[in-house]
Amino acid sequence: MTILDDLFVRLRAEKKKAFIPFVTAGDPSLEMTGKILQRLDSLGCSIAEVGVPYSDPIADGPVIQASYTRALGKGIKLKEIFETVKKVQPTVKMPLLTMLSYAVVFRQGPANFVKLAKEAGFCGAIIPDLLVEESDELSEICRGEDFNLIQLVTPTTPRERAVRIAQRSSGFIYFVSVTGITGERQQLPANLLEQVRWLRERTDLPICIGFGISQPEHVRMLGPVADGLIVGSALVRRIAESVAAGEQAVLTGVDELVSGLLKTLQEVS
């Protein structure tokens, strides 16, 4: 049982759903990334994703792309991200995941990357561009180190392939709610609920839904069928909009967005 396994067992016993925010490491600064993670933890978030900036977008929409560009413009390095997380992780209760391109993992070497990520305080990784056909080596390394490898299923993933992805994943399955890139949406696909229910019948892993979730209406729609909801672009945008007004404004913006969505998720759990 990994940290994430234990978390979802507890949440299910308490009839609760996971709320999972995403933040970009180093935007607006690594120091603020640490403070934002601490604030998210104090608000009651279940897990947090920390995005490692990368120059070539994978499935990132303009909001997250822009945040990556700002962070890279400051010269942010993987080592510095790990050092920041290592300082913050003992001060928060929620597990921390890293979200990054496989190119970063490859450069470090898969086994070495997992070692460094664990030492930093991460309990798993989300790697959107890792094909299931090429995931055997990293999947085995992660299982041997009790380090979760979370992989993505999209609305267009063939059903046979979705089952294979579930078999190679651990911790939870990241179900992408829409076809395309990350970003806030006014509406989510009508057949999304049916797709999630289909996959749930074929895996024991928790299913967490992300991409496009930004409004209470989305939470009310998806909360009943998901084990957790992931909010990225809406939070990254709120942080970016608040930076000019100072640190307290950033944290207040985080409070306002996350508290409202968390309250709605609790109501539908």
Domains belonging to the chain, first-starting first, are 3-268 (3.20.20.70)
Mean pLDDT of 3-32: 97
Q: What pLDDT is recorded for position 17?
A: 97
CB-count burial class (<10 Å; 0-12, 13-18, 19+) for 74 = middle
Amino acid sitting at position 110: P
Instruction: Give yes or no: 255 in active site.
Output: no
Q: What is the DSSP string of 84-114?
A: HHHHHGGG-SS-EEEE--HHHHHHH-HHHHH
pLDDT tops 50 at residue 181: no
pLDDT tens, position by position, 240-255: 999 999 999 999 999 9
- The pairing of strands 173-176 and 96-99 is unpaired
**Active-site option among 49, 83, 119, 241:** 49
Reported as a pLDDT band with limits 50, 70 and 90, residue 178 is: low
**Active-site option among 27, 31, 60, 140:** 60
Mean pLDDT of 10-35: 97
Mean pLDDT of 52-65: 79
Q: What pLDDT is recorded for position 57?
A: 61
Mean pLDDT of 5-27: 97
- List own/partner pairs for 71-74 with CB under 8 A and 24 or more apart: 71/24, 71/25, 71/26, 71/27, 74/26, 74/29
Comparing 57-61, 125-129, 244-248, which segment has the lowest mean pLDDT?
Answer: 57-61
Instruction: Give yes or no: 60 in active site.
Output: yes
Q: pLDDT exceeding 90 applies to what percent of the chain?
A: 80
Reported as a pLDDT band with limits 50, 70 and 90, residue 56 is: confident
Q: What pLDDT is recorded for position 154?
A: 87
Reported as a pLDDT band with limits 50, 70 and 90, residue 55 is: confident
Q: What pLDDT is recorded for position 58?
A: 66
